[in-house]
Each structure stands twice: as C-alpha cells, then as structure tokens.
Amino acid sequence: MKDKLISTLIKKEIKRQKEGIELIPSENYASTEVRSVLSSYLVNKYSEGYPKKRYYGGNENADEVEILAQERAKKLFKVPFANVQPYSGSPANFAVYLATCKPGDTVMGQALIAGGHLTHGHTVSATGIFYKTVQYGLKKNSSGKSEDLFDYKEIRRLALECKPKLIWVGATAYPLKFHYDRFAEIADEVGAYLAADIAHVAGLIVGGAHPSPVPHVHIVTTTTHKTLRGPRGAMIMVTDKGIKKDADLASKIDKAIFPGLQGGPHDNQTAAIAVALHEAAQSSFKKYAHQIVKNSQALAQVLIKGGLTLVGGGSENHLLLVDLTPTMGPGAGVFVQKALDVVGLTLNKNTVPEELSSPYYPSGVRLGTPASTTRGMKEKEMKFIGEMILKVVDEVKAYRLPKEKLEKGAYVKQFLVDLQKNKKLTLLRNQIKRMAVKYKIP
Ligand code: DSN
C-alpha cells in the first residue's frame, strides 16, 4: 500500500484485534468473504432507486445483488418485505419515523439511560427533535434473579395517556429476552405501530437462540454487523401484521429511505449483506448463536461469583451489564473500562438503570460474547476472561469518582497515569495476550 500512514494504522489495528479480546457486545468479526466483497468493484457504482427502477444506467448486476439480499433477508427472518439499503442502524430507524409519523407526532421508546437507543427518541437525537417523545424505563430488579425488567403496567399507562403513533421495542444494553407479545398488546390497544429494533439480537433470532418479534410487531429494523456478523449496514423489514395494518407500509418504508433520507445505496455493502445472510442461514450459524448465549451465561456466573452485580441478575442473550455502584460507587464505569483496556479486554462504560451518575461518567460497564465466540472461545475461556476481569476490578476498586464536576477530569487523568505504572496489570496483559493469539480472527 502506498499510503504508509494509513497502512501503519491498519497494521496496528490488526495487532490490537488479534492480541486483545473484544468484549463490546455490538462488535464482531465479519468473515473474510464479507470483508472482500466490501472492497469489490461494486464500490464504484451508483444505483439510486430500487431494483428495476433506477435513475442511472448500468445497474443490471446491482439489481441482481440487491434482489438476492432482499430475498435472503425475507427467507431468513420470515417476513414478506425487506429494504436492505439503510446505510446503518440510525438512518434505518429514522426512516421508520418518516414512514409512520408526521413531524411533531408522539412516539414512545426505551430511555437511553435505561438501555434504549438514541434513535428511540432521545432529546439530542433527530428523533427527539422532530418528534414528541415519551420514554419508558426499567423496573428495579429487587430479587437479584433474572426477571423481566419491563413494567408493562406503566408502559401501558404511558401509552394510554400519550397515544403514540409509534412504539419502539428493543435495546442496546438489555441483558434479558424481550417479550414482544406484551408490547404488542399495548401497541394494539392504542393503535400504534410497533417497531422492533433487533440490532443487538438479530443473529440470536435467526440462529434460533432467541424469540423472534416477527409475529407480534409491524416493523423490524436491524443493523447487520452485530450478532448477525455481516458488514456495517442495516435493514428494515415489514411483517404480515404490518401489511395488514397498513397495506402501503412497505412502499412508505422504501420511499422514506430513498428519496426521503438517502441517496444512492452502497452496492458493495448490499452485496456483503447478502453474503452475511447466506452465512447466517447455515447450520453452523445456529451453533454459533447458541454458543454466544452459553458463553454469556458462563461469564455471568464467574462475575456474580466474584461479587459483581449484574443488571437483570444475569444474562439471557449475548451481553452483560455490570452495575458497579455497589462495588465502587457512582460513575465507576470509566475506571473499569480504562483498566481493562490496558490489559487488552475491550468493553464499554455504560449507564445502568436508576443511574446515579451521567452518560459520560456512567456507573456500569457493558460487555458481551459475540466476537470472542466467533474466534472459537467457549465456556472454559469465558472462565478465564471472567477471572481476569475480577482481578482488574480488584486493582482499581479503591478509586472513587469525585462528586465535583470540575475535579472529575483531573482525577481520571491521574488514574490513567497510575494505570501505566501498575505492574500487576502488565502481567495480566501478557497472560491475556498469550491466550488471545491462540484464537484466530477471520
Ligand atoms: N453503538 C451501538 C451499540 O454499541 O450498541 C448502538 O448504535
């Protein structure tokens, strides 16, 4: 490669990915084939419009690529309609608003602070700027056991009060299964569209490790690069129930994506989505999806045994949300994330239900098993990872985030200096590296 600067950075990133263990639950390793299709000659083409209805010439191959991706999505998710053009999850979700609501209409979604997504109506997102949004939270888990954290009585009360046009079900930081039928009862009662954002669990659903929202909701959105293990991208699907509610829903979704929100689709991305959908239809993917959950549960057991508090009392999917408040006080996510970074375990700080701190200094960390499972790691390796996490938490458990806003930055800066001097972390780093390099990345 002639561009030495970029080539050096890519080499460094490959080394980082190989020598560390990726625990961010929304990340994964796409197959070699998916990556190679992304850099194919399809990257050169413009294809505004939809198959057989384009605004540019020379689209005979792009048409076939997009039709294949649509057909594979429909078959895999058991839906009558799929739009495979969204550039990524956020535009896909925004297109759902465009298709179902007018600016100013009321919508409901799970609050970001309680594990929802920005695009489910947060005030800083365009979805919260152009629509009137009502947010629902989670119940406090008092039993310490895995239990559904949604308060359906409260969600129903809110829905009856605000009469939303659209209700979102789906999250970015929820460790348990969704009971889509309970949300459907509420949406049907108030006549709202119900959209499931399954970005995190799409791979678990098609792999048969998780229930599908398809019988219960009108619209399904998903990114294609998380548990589904494809390229960056997204899809919007309409269910039979959706078409029954609104015969024009599919064409409204198409129009919302193009020309509503986007220009030309990324044909290389569409082709890579088609490849990923083909991979996800194989029986080996079912095994993969089930192993993700087994690994997540194995990791949860080690962390619970080691004294950490897990939101929801454990994990039923690919992710775990650790509430560090009881161990290290409010705002401790930053300490654990940074310390784990030093040893080569990558995860992210995250808010927890009933957060006492802020999204920038949240009180939890979110981690998951999709990427490590792709590398072939199983329960035994999860035990190793869990024990390493406990050792790292032990190293930093004396730190407390100052309450004073102005003191926080300086305190974290000093913490980072301390981390670099910590010899125990260097030893753990070497142990993790020795283990990680045994497991190839595609
Ligand atoms: N950034 C994604 C996640 O990590 O869950 C959501 O957009």
Residue tagged 């994330």 (tokens): 337
Residue pair 133/127 in contact (Cβ under 8 Å)? The answer is: yes
Band of residue 354 on the pLDDT scale cut at 50, 70, 90:
confident
Is residue 115 lining ligand 1, measured as CB closer than 6 Å?
Answer: no
User: Is residue 387 helix, strand or coil?
Assistant: helix
Catalytic residue list contains 226: yes
Distances (CA, A) of 353 to 43, 141, 349, 380: 42, 9, 13, 30
CB atoms within 10 A of CB 404: 8
Peptide linkage before 259 cis (omega within 30 of 0): yes
On average, the pLDDT of the chain sits at 96
Tokens of 17: 């990915």
Catalytic residue list contains 223: yes
Q: How far is the CA of 318 from the centre of ligand 1 (A)?
A: 13
Provide the 8-state DSSP code for 115.
T
Q: List, for residues 44-59, the tens digit of each pLDDT value.
A: 999 999 999 999 999 9
Q: List, for residues 366-415, the tens digit of each pLDDT value.
A: 999 999 999 999 999 999 999 999 999 999 999 999 999 899 999 999 99
Catalytic residue list contains 48: yes
Helices (H), 101-248: 126-130, 152-162, 180-190, 202-206, 240-245
Provide the 8-state DSSP code for 214.
T
Provide the 8-state DSSP code for 30.
-
Burial of 231 (0-12, 13-18, 19+ CB in 10 A): buried
Question: Which of 49, 51, 74 lies closest to 62 in space, CA to CA?
Answer: 51
**CA 111, 405, 343: angle at the middle one, nearest 5?**
75
Backbone angles phi, psi at 106, to 5 degrees: -90, 135
| Nearest ligand 1 atom, CA 366 | 4
- Using a pLDDT cut of 70, give the percent of the chain over it: 98
| Nearest ligand 1 atom, CA 26 | 4
Q: How far is the CA of 172 from the centre of ligand 1 (A)?
A: 6
Is residue 26 lining ligand 1, measured as CB closer than 6 Å?
Answer: yes
Across residues 104-119, what is the average pLDDT?
95
Domain 33-280 fold: Aspartate Aminotransferase; domain 2 (3.40.640)
Catalytic residue list contains 240: no
Q: How far is the CA of 421 from the centre of ligand 1 (A)?
A: 32
The whole-number pLDDT of residue 158 equals 98
Q: How far is the CA of 178 from the centre of ligand 1 (A)?
A: 18
Across residues 324-329, what is the average pLDDT?
95
Catalytic residue list contains 46: yes
Q: Give strand pairing partners of 107.
A: 133, 166
- Longest Cα–Cα distance of the chain, Å, equals 64
The whole-number pLDDT of residue 141 equals 64
The whole-number pLDDT of residue 371 equals 98
Candidate from 26, 337, 349 with most ligand 1 atoms within 8 A of CB, to mutate: 26
CATH of span 285-436: 3.90.1150.10
| Nearest ligand 1 atom, CA 172 | 5
Tokens of 394: 């032990």
Distance of CA 253 to the CA centre of its chain: 22
Is residue 25 lining ligand 1, measured as CB closer than 6 Å?
Answer: no
Is residue 346 lining ligand 1, measured as CB closer than 6 Å?
Answer: no
CA distance 112 to 107: 14
Window from 110-114, 141-145, 300-304, 413-417 with minimum mean pLDDT: 141-145
Which helix (H) or strand (E) element contains residue 420?
A: helix 405-421
Tokens of 74: 């429909």
pTM for the full model? 0.96
Q: Which of the following is catalytic: 223, 227, 239, 351?
A: 223
Which residue CA neighbors atom 5 of ligand 1 most closely? 172
Q: List, for residues 247-288, the tens digit of each pLDDT value.
A: 999 999 999 999 999 999 999 999 999 999 999 999 999 999
Q: Which of the following is catalytic: 19, 46, 78, 383?
A: 46
Distance of CA 185 to the CA centre of its chain: 25
Which residue CA neighbors atom 4 of ligand 1 most closely? 26
Catalytic residue list contains 2: no
Structural domain spans, the chain: 33-280, 285-436
Is residue 373 lining ligand 1, measured as CB closer than 6 Å?
Answer: no
Q: How far is the CA of 263 from the centre of ligand 1 (A)?
A: 24
CA distance 23 to 233: 20
Q: List, for residues 42-101, the tens digit of each pLDDT value.
A: 999 999 999 999 999 999 999 999 999 999 999 999 999 999 999 999 999 999 999 999
